[in-house]
Structure 1
């Protein structure tokens, strides 16, 4: 007997308002043409689908007062774990209206303040504790590699064996966020562990084999590795997998790396994103002085 499959939120919206199917397709094409990620597309379409289901009509047919009432209710929802649902809805609707050339409706939506939370960073002792926690070599390699190269979760699962260049001591990260390639240094401390791991694994293409349909590891799997091994430590900070990337960036700044080079290593499109780490890095303070004082050495000779 065939099991009944429940409709997704997007499918329900299409059944309720058939015209939404055309809008969703148009939205998908625009996201692809702009080179934005699949997760961005899914977030936008899902939010707009929820909006369509609520009003039982397309967003362009909903008046401003009704939109504001809906958004206020969403922002005040006690069941929402954070304001993320509200924010995603505003971003999705703004994108939708601009796509249809309805800029007035897009501008009328509430403006959103950027979060000012500083990234949580692990200190060196905490990192050593975390890296010694895994019993499986694979898990230890995953965690240390992320920190050693400042990788995003998606970048880790996309790494192929051929992207690790042991001779040139670099890692080639391909088509990451913003559809950009970049090269980052391969830590000499990682080489022994990586070679030992590769000799024990039967990897043919992907650096980390997993249960995804194409044989890759999953980002959820990476997060699980982080969570489970974190439990074995005494680290009390509220951290996640991305905290390893934050720690990488902060520690490089503290070791004297300039902000422009760090931006390139992290693959940021805008240097303002990288500058958040200046607020958490404990960099050595230099006493204000005139550059003339050091032009001819440590100090100037007094003139008569």
Structure 2
């Protein structure tokens, strides 16, 4: 504790002088905190942040999956401050040596970059740029016009199995509304308005409900 001496009415008085935390000291404290945090501890904060932002469970599971793969290369007990641009590059090379597909590597590094950028934003990690490797372009195996036409033909309801009808219904919803797969599998009976020929989407990527026209519904009504 530091004191300063002042004279008041000829008497010497000692008063306590409050120490100010300097910028350097504050930086040292932040570095100490960052050094003590492991990858798994930062991951907990990262997951909590996503939950607070109400990101979907499937999105959070994706980052869990990405980081579990990263921990096979480097222990989760590693200090976050030890991660550098070289670490990321070496991890890319590690995946290449293991024979992983370029699309898989692209997905893994994209997720890892989001995690590390979070750590940088929180001050746990020194800032550096991460370039996500581009996946090889693979030509899609497209359906022919004839194949699509066959898929859209209404099955005989008296003879077909339920799975056939279910598949036909899903294909038609895709074809006529262009919805996402996860939106489709979350459609409930009450979301379909046969009389009004519309479908209500309640499970969407941006979490905003949509109502879309579906003219094919009269066929099933």
- State the TM-score, normalized to the length of structure 2: 0.64
Match of 1:129 among 133, 150, 153: 150
Does structure 1 residue 104 correspond to structure 2 residue 127? yes
Deviations 1:32-76 (A, max 9, x none): 334433232222222223323422224442343333222122134
Does structure 1 residue 190 correspond to structure 2 residue 217? yes
Alignment RMSD (CA, Å)? 3.0
Which has the higher Rg, Structure 1 or Structure 2?
2
Contact 2:202 2:209 in 1 (8 A): yes
After alignment, is 128-137 or 160-169 more displaced?
Answer: 128-137
1:73 counterpart residue number: 94
SS at match of 2:173: helix
Does structure 1 residue 148 correspond to structure 2 residue 148? no
2:199 counterpart residue number: 171
SS at match of 1:172: strand
Deviations 1:102-128 (A, max 9, x none): 4623x1x22444776787654543222
Relative to 1, partners in 2 of residues 1:19 and 1:133: Cα closer, same or farther, differing over 3 Å?
farther
Deviation at 1:179, TM superposition (A): 1.5
Distance 1:68 1:128 in 2: 47
Does structure 1 residue 33 correspond to structure 2 residue 52? yes
- Pick 1 or 2: higher relative contact order, CA cutoff 8 A, min separation 6: 1
SS at match of 2:199: strand
Deviation at 1:185, TM superposition (A): 0.9
Kindly tell me the number of residue pairs found equivalent between the two proteins.
Answer: 172
Structure 1 residues 209-220: aligned runs within 5 Å = none
Relative to 1, partners in 2 of residues 1:138 and 1:50: Cα closer, same or farther, differing over 3 Å?
closer
SS at match of 1:184: strand
Structure 1 residues 1-304: aligned runs within 5 Å = 19-56=38-75, 57-78=78-99, 80=100, 82-100=101-119, 101=121, 102=125, 104-105=127-128, 107=129, 109-113=130-134, 122=143, 124-132=145-153, 135-136=160-161, 137-187=165-215, 189-193=216-220, 195=221
Runs of 4+ in 1 over 6 A off after TM superposition: 114-120
Contact 1:43 1:88 in 2 (8 A): no
Distance 1:40 1:62 in 2: 24
Deviation at 1:140, TM superposition (A): 2.0
Distance 2:135 2:54 in 1: 23
SS at match of 2:196: coil
- State the TM-score, normalized to the length of structure 1: 0.48
Relative to 1, partners in 2 of residues 1:178 and 1:118: Cα closer, same or farther, differing over 3 Å?
farther
Contact 2:152 2:171 in 1 (8 A): yes
- More strand by proportion, 1 or 2? 2
